[in-house]
Amino acid sequence: MSVELRLPTMLRPAVNGAPSLTMEGETIGEILTTLVTEYPGLSGQVLTDDGSLHRFVNVYLNDDDVRYLDKLETKVADGDVISILPAVAGGAS
């Protein structure tokens, strides 16, 4: 399946500044594994060393957070949009 992978500004230097990439794969996990294989500068920023989703990264398939779907096993379809967003934490009390 061919999908659009949208990247946040902080990850773009590792992919030559591209705001999005066209990726192939059947699941979110396959696509993210291919991403870090093709762009080793993203290693440890998207997936952890054991291959799980980094806890400070949110991944959306279209408008749905994959953590509430089938996580890395979430199936994708042609034309889907995957967005990687950095997690936001903290704030004033």
- CATH number for the 2-86 domain, one of 3.30.450.20, 3.10.20.30, 1.20.58.220, 3.30.70.260? 3.10.20.30
Query: What are 20-76's pLDDT values in tens digits?
Result: 999 999 999 999 999 999 999 998 999 998 999 998 999 999 999 999 999 999 999
Say whether pLDDT at 81 is over 70: yes
The ranges assigned to domains in the chain are 2-86
CB 60 within 8 A of CB 35: no
Say whether pLDDT at 79 is over 90: yes
Say whether pLDDT at 91 is over 70: no
- Of the CA atoms within 13 Å of residue 90, those in its CB half-sphere come to 3
Average pLDDT over residues 5-32: 97
CA–CA distance, 66 with 72 (Å, rounded to integer) = 7
CA pseudo-torsion sign 80, 46, 43, 49:
negative
